[in-house]
Structures are given as C-alpha cells and as structure tokens.
A and B are shown apart, each in its own frame.
Chain A
Amino acid sequence: MPSKEVKKRASLGSIQWNRYMVYIVFVLVFVLFSVLLGGKGFLNPNNLANVLRQTSMISIMAVAGTFVIAAGQIDLTVGAVAAMSAMIASLVLRDLNNIPLAILGGVGFGVVSGAFVGFLVTKLRLPSFLATMGMMSVIRGGAMWVTQTAAVPIKNAVFNKVFGIGMIGGISVLVFWTIGFYIVGYILFNKSIFGRHTLATGGNEMSAIYSGIKTNRIKIIIFILSGAFAGFAGILYAGRMQAGRFSFGDGDELSVIAAVVLGGTSMAGGAGSVIGSLFGSILMGVINNALILAGLSIAQQTIIKGAIIVLAVALSNLTQGKQK
C-alpha cells in the first residue's frame, strides 16, 4: 500500500495549507497595503478600528455561516433577515419604546425564518440554495412592505448606544459584540457535541445517520442559528444607522459566503473554521477600505473586490490540489 500512503500524505500537506491560507493571504494583503497606502492613513488606528466596526455584521453572520456551510448547506436569507429584523426593531421602538421587546422581535423573526427554511430543506426536501433564494426575496419584499419602503428612525438613545454607536475605551461596541459572538461560536464549533454533529452532517450524512445523529434536526438548528445571528446583525444595523431601513444588508449573503469560504470552510461541507471566517470577513473589509483609500471609483472597487475573491478562492483550491 505504499503508493496510497504517499498520496494521502501529500494531500494532507495541502489540506493544512488550505486551512492556513486565509491567514497567509491576510498577512500578505495587510503588508502590501501598509507599504502602498501607509501614507494615506491605512495604518492609522482609527482607520483600522473603522474596518473592524464596518465588518462586524458580516463577521457575526459568518459565525453561523460557518456552521451552515460546514453542514453542506447554504443560507441566502441572512441579508434580508437582517433588514427585516431592523425594521421590526425600529417599529417596536417607535410604537412601544421597549428595548427587550425590540430585540426579541428582531432576533425572534430570524429564529422563525430559520425554522421555516429548515422545514423547507428537511421536510419538503428543497435544496437549501433554492429554498433560501426564494425566502430571501419573500423576506426582503416583506421588509419593504411594512412601511411602504419608508425608513423608520430610532430615537431611543440607549438602544442606539448599546447596539450601534457607543464606544467602550475608544472601541466601538460593535467590535465587542463581534468578539462575544466569536467566543460562543468557537466553543460551539470546536468543543461542543453539536459542532461535531454539524461536521458529520456535512462530511458524510449517511454515516451521521447511521451513527444515530438526527441530521435533519441538526440542519434545522443550524438554519435557526443562522436566522438568529442574522436577526441580531439587523439589530446592530439599526443601532448603528439609528433607523430601520429595508435596504440593510443588501448583498450580505454573498459577502458572508465569501468570508466563510475564504476562511477555509469547505463548500462541500465537512470541514470548517470559525476563526478562519472572522479573518475572511476582516480580510474583505481591509480590501474594501484600501480600495477606498486608494481613491478608486465605486465601479473599480466592485471589480477589484470580485477579482480578489476569485483569486483567493482559486489560490486555496490550487493548494488543495485535486483533493476531491
């Protein structure tokens, strides 16, 4: 069997590469921009703090996104759920001025929406891509409908401070929220039984079923988790913009997928990294920021952003070799 051994070893090396690729790319990109754009304030602590703040919502959604993709699923509803959650929260604050109820409304909507997606995927056996593509449109439309596309300002200063514009020791509260979610996500993914069951569901669903794991239940929980995290991201959008607006989170679903995949989670399921997703998300934020600092037009930014994502994923695929 020596030939098998050799092959296995070789692909092992590449898997490790793939796993650390996001960190390597991150460092390379960071150094590159520091050299090129250091003079334009790229390394200014304020600028870097800004990047962290701006990527918070994507980062938080990417925590749950890691579970979704590691389980071999995909969730396109997150951006729309965030918008709907922001609308619900802002309406509750306008009419009832009750913060806990606003959060419950926003996150609760995410839970219900996630549960419904889970139902579509497990009971009606829709592929998650189609189920969530449809639901994305339904929810986004709903967010437009509740106020006939009008924005709802939030006047509750406490809410805005805690969930958006507040600072602790000069650092945005959004960064603290992000850290909190990542601690929870990391433990859940790496240390809990649920995390292993997620990987097993994505890695070899039959094996998981034969091992007595209710993979359908795992999938439903993952979609609920994804919905809830997206709901919370919506609360943060509302707090930061001090308003609810139907257009929040537009396109976030794709940014989340990009962040998670850049972070080394396999699109085929079965392998993933929560911390990788954080770096994937920040990496995209850094690129965004640098392109703005470099004075590129929106059109140029969009093109380069897309190209960099393709490049980074291609790079990690190349290092991965012909593994599958």
Chain B
Amino acid sequence: MEQFVLEMKGINKSFGSVPVLKNVEFKLKQGEVHALVGGNGAGKSTLMKIMTGVYTLDSGEVHVNGKLAHIRDTRDAKAQGIAMIFQELSLVQSMTVAENIFLGEEIAHNGLRDIRSMNDRAAKLLAELDLDIDPATPVYRLSVGLSQMVEIAKALSKDAKILVFDEPTASLSETETSRLFEIIQTLKAKGVSMVYISHRMKEIQMVADSITILRDGQFILRDSVANLTMEQIISNLIGGESSKHKFDWVPRYYDENAPDLLRLESVKVNDKINNITFGLKPGEILGLAGLMGSGRTEILETLFGLHPKLGGTIILDGQKLDYSSPQEAIRLGFALVPEDRRKLGLVLNHSVRENLILPILKKLRGNKLQFLIKEKQADGVTEESVKQLNIITSSINKTIRLLSGGNQQKVVIAKWLNTNPRILMLDEPTAGVDIGAKSEIIQIIRNFADQGNSVIFVSSELAEMLAICDRIITIYDGRITGELSRKDIGVEEELQHAIQRS
C-alpha cells in the first residue's frame, strides 16, 4: 500500500441543512503536486478549509502520516505542518516582510523583539527560495507576485510539510507564474507536498502530478494527470456532457468595412499609456491582450469615465466625445463589467434584485417628478434577466453573496445589459467562474454582439480570448504592439508569444 502524507476519508460537511461535502475522499502523496479541481460550489474550498482547520468536519477522518489527526482549528493544522497560501493576499500590508514571516512566532530577547535576527533569518529563508527581497521592506511595496512568494516563505518558516495553493496564479503575470512554478519544483524536491487548486487546465497539466476531481460535493475521481486528457478532465468536471465545442471559435459575421462605432485616437491615459489608437466596428468583439499591468484595465476604465483622459480624442458614431464621469459614459452607451466583481461589481449584502436594478433606477420611475420606484416593474425586469441569462437563484430577493461566482458574474453582466449599452467592456469576466457558467457567459457576449453592438474583452486566459474575439490588439507596457485578426491566429502559443513581445 502506498504511503500518503495526508488522507481524508468519508468527509461530510453541511452548512445548515445544505450538504456541501458528501462522503468525499482526498489523498496526498509525499512530495507531489496534487491538483484539486471542480466547478464553483463543488466543495474544493470547503474541503481545504477543513484540512486547514478553518471549518470542522461533521463526520469522517483525517490522517496525517498514517495517524488519525484531530484538526479543530488553524493551530492544530499548523501543528500538523499544513499551511494555506491564500488566493487573496493574507499579509499585513503595513508591516515588513520579516515581520510578516515571523508574525505570531516572533523572536524575542528579554521581551523585546529581536528585529535583527528576524531579518537575518528571513533573508536566509528568502535566499533558499532564490528570492531577492529585502526582509525590511514593507509588504505594500511588493508586487502581487512577490507578496505571494513571501507568503510561501512564511509557511515554510513554520515547517509546513503540506502547502495548499488556492488559485495562486489568478493575479500573477506570466513571468511571475513561471517563477512560482519554479519554486513549486524546488519545494517538491525538498519533499513538500502541495495541493493546487485552479480553474486553469493548462497550468494543472504543467505543474501537477495527480488530480482529484470533485463535483457537487462528491468525489469523482483521482488519477495521475498524465493519464487524463484535458477533454476528460473537463467532461468529468461538468458531468459527462461535453461543452468543449463552446470553447471553439465560431466565425462571426459583421461588416468589416462599416464605419467605426468607436474610435480612439492617440488617447493618453497616463504617462505610460499615452498613445492608444484603435477602432471598433459595430457587431465586433475586440480583445485587448496583455500581461497584468500592461494597461488593459486602465484603458477600459478611461473609456468608462473613471479617469479623465489626458489627451487624444474618443469618437463615438463620428462624434467627438468629452466626458469625465461614469454617469455620462453610461448615458453614451458604455458599460463596464469590472475586474473584481466582489469589490467593484456588486453590493454583496444586497439582493439579486437590488443589484440588478441599481444602474437603471431612474428608468424605473414613472416620470422625472416621481421619486418612487415602480416596484412591480423592477421585479419584472429582474425576473426577465434571471430567466434570460439563466441565473440560478432560489429567489430574486436572495442576498447575492450566497450565489456562486458564475451566477454573481451573470448578475453583473445582466445589470449592465439592462442599461441598453452599445459598447460592453468586460475585464476578466470569467475569473473564478466555473466552466459551465463560463461557456454561458461567452454565449451571452456573442448574442449581445450579434445584435449589432460592440464588445471590448479583456482576459488573462488566452484560450478564452481566442474562443470569443474577432480581432485582438496586443498591449505591452502601455503601448499597442500589434493587431491580429482571429483568422490569422493558429494556436494559443502564437498569441502568447505576441503579448510578450515589446
């Protein structure tokens, strides 16, 4: 029998009367990278939270190194050598790298903190990971990628033998991602076992040795990654029926010679992004491809009136525009589905209905003199959207926080579609969204464009860009470096190469 560093057997967990994990098992071998995949709501996070002591299990057993372990809180998990690297950064921004690494386990001398020896020890630890970071730097000065490396160093300083990565590359650039993968290899060589949660199949095939698939709170399969094709993984994820074809590019027809609906000429967003010129045809889906921080988001935000443009011209329907607020942008027909739906896209404590009608409250009045909202009409609009976009919720009055990521995102999109925009801009609309909802979202975007509207689409997942965009503009460090028609792109690698070329 193989020796597992960690075995979870017959795990059950319910929240209230809702079972989230049903008799789930999970086994981790010494020194392997084990991918844990599943759609949103499949129970991955819950399982990992049980492992790291955030939640306690209702029934089942956890064995660490063959011995039954009782993990009741995060301290127990730490004592067992289990640590989690968080999706959202969990460092204290105002404190230094060394202070964060030793947080909770400070080295003290006569009751006073021994800052020098903590800095020395931290420096050694960082050097072991080949990281060139000064331990006395405050964390807010580090990039997202480096902060994550510091978190890894922090876990290792506590003698972690099992590391859990939750969507670790969600906000990393390509270079940072490959750096992370190098570190994962180093750790593997040291015998550290790792659980790797991700929606990105490519990465799993690159980095993971084995894979466990969960669906609807149930264990589906565990195998070596090498034994499975991407199609097999995906079909197990979504439950047999293949939705692969939805990820294929379908050539779309729009008049490529029509006058531009929107045109940017030498638009200056800030000192770095200072000469953006491109056009957008009616019915076209245009992709902006580039690394994180290349300026993609800033361009969308400027078009949406969040930052005033510092120069150049924006022309809509042949008319030069001058506007400097989202209200005006909305009136002109712009809509922006922002990058971070939890922070920017939704009011999490409000209901599906309240979120959906927020941008159209004024339209829901009888006339300008009335200030009461026609509640029935609001219900109607909401129900219509829920039906149209297949938003899965038990009631339109359900708090949106309780919906899955994919359904939350559909609400954000529905909310903007209700403003009748002509130009829909989407920034990473499928981040943290399961595959089923992803293909639905792609379909919604296509339908929108088919009605003669235009779309600007930004995503870090190139496969997705290739599936949806008619044309892709590449941006590097604030400059447009190229323009590719979808027809001319053969494989993903070509685009990958294009966005990294300065």
Query: Is the Cβ of A200 less than 8 Å from the Cβ of B293?
Result: no
Query: Is the Cβ of B104 less than 8 Å from the Cβ of A211?
Result: yes
Which of A8, A199, A209 has a CB less than 8 Å from the CB of B74?
A209
Across the interface, name the chain B residue whose C-beta is closest to A211: B104
Q: Which of A88-96, A190-198, A236-244, A248-256 has 4 or more CB atoms under 8 Å from chain B?
A: A190-198
User: A197-B104, A203-B93 provided; 15 other pairs, C-beta below 8 A?
Assistant: A1-B143, A3-B298, A3-B478, A4-B143, A4-B292, A4-B293, A8-B142, A192-B112, A196-B106, A204-B93, A208-B92, A209-B74, A210-B84, A211-B104, A270-B93
The CA-CA distance from A12 to B99 in the complex, in Å, is 18
Query: Is the Cβ of A199 less than 8 Å from the Cβ of B95?
Result: yes
Chain A contacts with B in 254-297, Cβ cutoff 8 A = 266, 270-271
Chain B contacts with A in 123-153, Cβ cutoff 8 A = 138, 140-145
B91 contacts chain A at the CB level, 8 A cutoff? yes
6 shortest interchain CB distances as A-B pairs? A211-B104, A203-B92, A212-B104, A211-B103, A207-B90, A271-B94
Query: Is the Cβ of B113 less than 8 Å from the Cβ of A213?
Result: no
B477 contacts chain A at the CB level, 8 A cutoff? yes
Counting contact residues on chain A (CB < 8 A from B), the size range is 20 to 34
Counting contact residues on chain B (CB < 8 A from A), the size range is 35 or more
Q: A197 — which chain B residues lie within 8 A by C-beta?
A: 103-104
A2 contacts chain B at the CB level, 8 A cutoff? yes
Q: B84 — which chain A residues lie within 8 A by C-beta?
A: 210
B75 contacts chain A at the CB level, 8 A cutoff? yes
Binary CB contact string for chain B from 173 to 194 against chain A (1 if under 8 A, 0 otherwise): 1001000000000000000000
A187 contacts chain B at the CB level, 8 A cutoff? yes
Q: B292 — which chain A residues lie within 8 A by C-beta?
A: 1, 4
Which of A3, A195, A203, A210 has a CB less than 8 Å from the CB of B293?
A3
Chain A contacts with B in 1-34, Cβ cutoff 8 A = 1-6, 8-9, 11-12, 15
Q: A11 — which chain B residues lie within 8 A by C-beta?
A: 140
B116 contacts chain A at the CB level, 8 A cutoff? no
Q: B295 — which chain A residues lie within 8 A by C-beta?
A: 3
The CA-CA distance from A15 to B95 in the complex, in Å, is 13
Which of A8, A206, A213 has a CB less than 8 Å from the CB of B90?
A206
- Chain A's nearest CB lies how many Å from the CB of B458? 15
24 A-B pairs with C-beta separation under 8 A: A1-B145, A1-B176, A1-B291, A2-B272, A2-B477, A6-B272, A8-B140, A8-B141, A11-B140, A12-B138, A191-B113, A196-B95, A196-B99, A196-B113, A199-B92, A199-B95, A204-B91, A204-B93, A207-B90, A207-B100, A208-B92, A211-B104, A212-B75, A270-B92
The CA-CA distance from A271 to B90 in the complex, in Å, is 16
Query: Is the Cβ of A3 less than 8 Å from the Cβ of B145?
Result: no
* Most chain A Cβ neighbours within 10 Å, of B138, B140, B295: B140
Which of B78, B95, B108, B173 has a CB less than 8 Å from the CB of A212?
B78
B105 contacts chain A at the CB level, 8 A cutoff? yes
Binary CB contact string for chain B from 277 to 292 against chain A (1 if under 8 A, 0 otherwise): 0000000000000011
B111 contacts chain A at the CB level, 8 A cutoff? yes
Q: B106 — which chain A residues lie within 8 A by C-beta?
A: 193, 196
The CA-CA distance from A113 to B357 in the complex, in Å, is 47
The CA-CA distance from A200 to B90 in the complex, in Å, is 11
Binding site for A on B (CB under 8 A): 74-75, 78, 84, 86, 90-95, 99-100, 103-106, 108, 111-113, 138, 140-145, 154, 173, 176, 272, 291-295, 298, 477-478
The CA-CA distance from A270 to B295 in the complex, in Å, is 30
Q: B477 — which chain A residues lie within 8 A by C-beta?
A: 2-3
* Most chain B Cβ neighbours within 10 Å, of A2, A15, A193: A193
The CA-CA distance from A209 to B91 in the complex, in Å, is 11
Q: A199 — which chain B residues lie within 8 A by C-beta?
A: 92, 94-95
Query: Is the Cβ of B112 less than 8 Å from the Cβ of A200?
Result: no
The CA-CA distance from A134 to B142 in the complex, in Å, is 42
- Chain B's nearest CB lies how many Å from the CB of A4? 5
Query: Is the Cβ of A1 less than 8 Å from the Cβ of B93?
Result: no
Known contacts A2-B293, A3-B272, A208-B103; A270/B94 CB under 8 A: yes
- Chain B's nearest CB lies how many Å from the CB of A191? 4
Known contacts A200-B95, A208-B103; A12/B141 CB under 8 A: yes
Query: Is the Cβ of A210 less than 8 Å from the Cβ of B90?
Result: yes
Across the interface, name the chain A residue whose C-beta is closest to B145: A1
Q: A212 — which chain B residues lie within 8 A by C-beta?
A: 74-75, 78, 104-105
Q: B142 — which chain A residues lie within 8 A by C-beta?
A: 8
- Chain A's nearest CB lies how many Å from the CB of B120? 17
* Most chain B Cβ neighbours within 10 Å, of A187, A207, A208: A207
Across the interface, name the chain A residue whose C-beta is closest to B175: A1
Binary CB contact string for chain A from 199 to 224 against chain B (1 if under 8 A, 0 otherwise): 11001101111111100000000000
- Chain B's nearest CB lies how many Å from the CB of A244? 36
Query: Is the Cβ of B111 less than 8 Å from the Cβ of A200?
Result: no
- Chain A's nearest CB lies how many Å from the CB of B271? 8
The CA-CA distance from A189 to B105 in the complex, in Å, is 17
The CA-CA distance from A200 to B154 in the complex, in Å, is 15
- Chain B's nearest CB lies how many Å from the CB of A187? 7
